[in-house]
Chains A and B, each alone.
Chain A
């Protein structure tokens, strides 16, 4: 299909929009509400263009390109129309730019700059802004909302949660939960994917930086930080590094300079999770296959992702028994720090402040759950997202790019490559299989470089089957058994898996679910904006991190072995049961 854009001839594939054709011609059309492949509704009208022979301007993000079309993207009429559209948005927007969480990282600011808006011609009425701080993870400020509806698409179509939808009509429209409810009164899993796509400061993480400063300044607090595997592949983006730059060493130095007494690695507790969860899976399989116990819930679902846990509690409470009882790595670390490690360093749990750096807004909620206090106090005190850590480092005047590298502290900073890959979709599955297969057969997992390629990548639902051959005597009941596994990321995909299980169409033994598309590397607390190219770059970095480690299987982690020798005993033992496992609660679906 041939057309011209600003007199530049271009050949566009069938079905391309004018916007896509223009990009092929090297012409940039500004967009605002558009999220390629996810959300194209032509709502904001910023991408207007003129098409010769058509009276009205067209929204190029949704208008298909046509044979022989003559498109003009830079006429006076187009420029003025775009400016008017943005000025109208700005006239309603609570533009408290200097104090806004998105200051200097706001798509509306950038758009106003790009279009050269120098004054806002309209002084309009403002809507009644409401500030929703009801959840642990997220803050909604409707006064800043520009009605682009990206969050609505993500919440409903990608996640299938449906906490957000346009309410009321016309000028009174509010993007929010049903009627005038707050987020904590509806089925919101706090995954933060809405915040990840919000172009402005209307939905963002609940900022807890001040709480961390207060703890660091308190002479009676021993401050320990843990960083999730996904942070090291994304934090660099806050300081101008391209996506997929590994900044593990600089991150550790930055955390030490902020004043943390110990810098530990959630990778350690990810290895620990594999020991517990792997044993739990084998125990369930044994009960089902040997003891023919029909009450055993299979498939077993992973339980690392707190948004997924909330989703199950609200949407599929009848399947809670299928969730692994293992706490997430964040919570395992909190519990181990405030029991085992506290004893080691002679501190009381209440004198330790445990801070987590997570790619996730739901982790803030998870840390605050009632049951997460097995040390006697709240196991994890404060959770910062990657974005908050980026801001905190900037506030502290640390020149991140100039930092030397350093290593995580022992013993709870020691980890294997299997733990790194917890950061991306398919990673927990791969890590579990690396260990489980070797426990059963005594041999290494038979995949190239230990990577379970069928469950890697960005397909929404991935499956693999592994036939057990040559099982050790203890595991002879698994000889010849084909273990079926599935991996889903994005709750909409998880739902598809559940429906296939419920209909009997699929029979799995083990299913990994991560709430966010791409897994934790695409979490709701990661630097914006995360598209598939960013996801793939971060995943590549995570696999490099794994491959660079000497130890790549969780059961080889010496610090984990020592923890079992000195404190826990055996996986699923009495102490483990007390501090590393949890239970779930049926919740209402609203």
Chain B
């Protein structure tokens, strides 16, 4: 079975780009447009990996990571942050919140797929 990935980003265009990249690589993908939507989605359907933006309305990415990690109904799946934010202090906040990795936009499709592969392999090993 193909690994399943939830993409969380408020930008339709970025979601489409990430979706196309991952779908082409053989993953099953679905989307949420902010952290609150993603939490709701995770309570019904658990992916193998989540990729989330940081700056989003309703619930930002770091709050989403903290909320997901603190929710006993959501298993500890890997969460990659994909953002334009390249500030080391934000990265550290992401790590402390429980993120698995930090990818800075603009992303290169091959690097995104490599990171996804590594993180999913870590999970199954």
- Does B bind A? no
A interface with B by C-beta (< 8 Å): none
